[in-house]
Structure 1
Amino acid sequence: MSLAGQLAIVTGASRGIGRGIALQLGEAGATVYITGRKPEESLNSKVGLSGLEQTAEEITKRGGKGIARFVDHQNMDEVKNFFEVIKKEHNGQLDILVNNAYQGVTAISENIGKPFYETDPYIWDTINNVGLRNHYFCTVYASRIMVARNKGLIVNVSSGGGIRYIFNVAYGVGKQALDRLSVDSSIELASKNVCVVSIWPGAAKTELSSQSFPDENGKPKEGLDKSMMFVNGESVEYPGKAVVALASDPKRMNKTGRILITEDLGREYGFVDIDGKTPPNLRSVGFILHHVGFPTIAKFIPNWVRLPGWAIWAGNGHL
């Protein structure tokens, strides 16, 4: 129970990676506030309980304390009020914020293979109002609480879409901007002992990705021949183990401002996925070759052969 006594917020935690992170934080003993929109029938909900409330129950069963709060992360007044309530009810304590809320998966799936100029430009709002603008607001309000206590951890759930074209233009621009939010805010928060990072999970086996993208027995959608990437991906709780490891690390400020890949953190801190396996690393040469169209060659490359981080950035014009 390494996080007993700590207070965490995970936005967008009714399902997917947010749910997995919240469960792992609870298992580590934290009190976890989880947010999501007003009740919608979740993929596996029991009668009378929303997916968010189910997650809160499971957090508590695992040893933490789960508290569900319905927050529309498109409404900044609701977001501001939520953080004000947290500050008041917990005497100014907030140890961990995980910015995870996202709204764009369905829109991404529905527009796969369609160029941006043929897509309704309002897809920008669908993808980035919650997935970027809201994260900025949450980071501002959380930082105000953390700075007063001279401690805290802010984790932005991002992806490699910030350095390489994936899905569509709006997605990539939003993810690169989110990584800049981590890097730039860390500069201003460094003297306040508040650590800010982006984490890049691999392809995660979420409820929506299982629905939106075909499995190994299905036919890939046009423009997305990456089915096996999700089938062989990490569980939604693997990023949660990464967040717990960071939150438990007394030297985490050495990582502030960095973009961290979940599997790199698994090797550093010594954790594996909930099925006992180690998922693919986004820097693995075999993984990269497979997903850029050379699956035969990829089979002969051991998983431990990886590109250094600087090579990935340099190859995409980010040095």
Structure 2
Amino acid sequence: MTAKKVTLDGKVALVAGATRGAGRGIAVELGAAGATVYVTGRTTRENRSDDDRPETVEETAELVTAAGGRGIAVPTDHLVPDQVRELVARIDAEQGRLDVLVNDIWGREPLFEWKRPVWEHDLDRGLRLLRLAVETHAITSHLALPLLVRHPGGLAVEMTDGTAEYNRDNYRVSFFHDLAKSCVLRMGFSLGEELGSRGATAVALTPGWVRSEGVLDTFGVTEENWRNALEAVPHFAISETPRYVGRAVAELAADPRVARWNGQSLSSGQLAREYGFTDLDGSQPDAWRYLAEVQDAGKPADVTGYR
């Protein structure tokens, strides 16, 4: 099976939080479909963010252009409303429209403390995580959605971690992490209520176990040899590239019937089955079903029937 070709020629997208990981994968796949993609983040070639990673927002824009679209890097701190307001004004001035908004800003993994109860967790770090993971999405939606609803058919995507069903039944390791991801899931529903009657669609979308740059570094592997990590972390076999969820967003953006998903919680694996796209290796990993039925059930790692 090969990836379906979707076309987004003439469409304008904003991927907020596109410096690395799923945000970069989404931006590149929107570019591969022909879209003009504004990509934002705080890490530039001149200034590293507090993540202190080497990926830059300029690199993401270059990857978008190389994929066939037009990538435009706009360094932006989405906690600063004036910066987001200037970003949206620039998109309006240069394009006169916004067709796709992807809120992928995250609160940084190092900020939350795994398996520590809220009363033992550093309060400042926990509140900082919530500001980065939740407040940024609210600010960006508030300022960008008036441009998105100017033309019918717009799509807003709230990126989170875990489906509504999985997060309902599972504690996500940390009070602050659990709260952040649950809030963003609810944002997809809430925006669906507000956008649906105005000719636009909103969803919450989760990738599976993403082989982001940070995850690969943590496991001491690269995208080329990622299976070397399976001896130490067998369930990593269900993992997927950031481009997989990017293809999910591109399919949603190109779907004339996308409104049927309005307000729903979706996953990359679910949408791969619906639209027929694959990951870069031709597989269709269904991580959240696997995590619930295999990993969390204490079964040996076996991705048969799950990718």
State the TM-score bracket (shorter-chain normalisation).
Answer: 0.7 to 0.9
- Within 5 Å, give how 1:217-296 maps onto structure 2: 217-218=231-232, 227-230=233-236, 232-284=238-290, 287-296=291-300
Letter in 2 for 1:87: D
Displacement after TM superposition at 1:148 (Å) = 2.2
Secondary structure at the aligned position of 2:71 is classed as: strand
Letter in 2 for 1:60: T
**What is the distance in 1 between the residues matched to 2:79 and 2:197?**
31
Secondary structure at the aligned position of 1:148 is classed as: coil
Choose which of 198, 216, 237 in structure 1 pairs with 2:230.
216
1:2 partnered with 2:16: no
1:33 partnered with 2:16: no
Superimposed CA distance per residue, residues 41-98 of structure 1 (whole angstroms, 9 cap, x where no aligned partner): 69996xxxx621111112111110000010012222211221122122222x000011
May I ask how many residue pairs the two structures share in their alignment? 286
**What is the distance in 1 between the residues matched to 2:188 and 2:82?**
23
Counterpart residue number, 1:59: 64
Counterpart residue number, 2:78: 73
In structure 2, relative to structure 1, the CA distance for the partners of 1:148 and 1:134 (3 Å cut) is same
C-alpha contact (below 8 Å) 1:106/1:212 kept by paired residues:
no
1:181 partnered with 2:183: no
Displacement after TM superposition at 1:178 (Å) = 1.0
Counterpart residue number, 1:115: 117
**What is the distance in 2 between the residues matched to 1:291 and 1:79?**
40
Counterpart residue number, 1:135: 137
Choose which of 16, 24, 48 in structure 2 pairs with 1:19.
24
**What is the distance in 2 between the residues matched to 1:249 and 1:177?**
26
Displacement after TM superposition at 1:25 (Å) = 0.4
Letter in 1 for 2:61: A
Bigger CA drift: 2-11 or 140-149?
140-149
In structure 2, relative to structure 1, the CA distance for the partners of 1:115 and 1:239 (3 Å cut) is same
Please tell me the root mean square deviation across aligned C-alpha atoms, in Å: 2.4
In structure 1, the gaps of 5 or more residues are 219-226, 306-319
C-alpha contact (below 8 Å) 1:10/1:100 kept by paired residues:
yes
1:166 partnered with 2:172: yes
In structure 2, the gaps of 5 or more residues are 1-5, 221-228
Displacement after TM superposition at 1:217 (Å) = 4.5
Displacement after TM superposition at 1:213 (Å) = 5.6
Letter in 2 for 1:27: A
Counterpart residue number, 2:210: 204
Displacement after TM superposition at 1:115 (Å) = 2.4
In structure 2, relative to structure 1, the CA distance for the partners of 1:43 and 1:107 (3 Å cut) is closer
Secondary structure at the aligned position of 1:295 is classed as: coil
Structure number with the bigger relative contact order (C-alpha 8 A, sep ≥ 6) is 2
- Within 5 Å, give how 1:291-310 maps onto structure 2: 291-296=295-300, 299=302, 303=305
Displacement after TM superposition at 1:303 (Å) = 2.7
In structure 2, relative to structure 1, the CA distance for the partners of 1:162 and 1:104 (3 Å cut) is farther
In structure 2, relative to structure 1, the CA distance for the partners of 1:229 and 1:203 (3 Å cut) is farther
Choose which of 170, 186, 196 in structure 2 pairs with 1:190.
196
C-alpha contact (below 8 Å) 1:38/1:71 kept by paired residues:
no
Superimposed CA distance per residue, residues 258-309 of structure 1 (whole angstroms, 9 cap, x where no aligned partner): 000111100110011011122133124xx3243225124x74x95369xxxx
Secondary structure at the aligned position of 2:246 is classed as: helix
Bigger CA drift: 124-133 or 56-65?
124-133
Secondary structure at the aligned position of 1:122 is classed as: helix
In structure 2, relative to structure 1, the CA distance for the partners of 1:121 and 1:44 (3 Å cut) is closer
C-alpha contact (below 8 Å) 1:162/1:177 kept by paired residues:
no
**What is the distance in 2 between the residues matched to 1:217 and 1:282?**
21
C-alpha contact (below 8 Å) 1:79/1:138 kept by paired residues:
yes
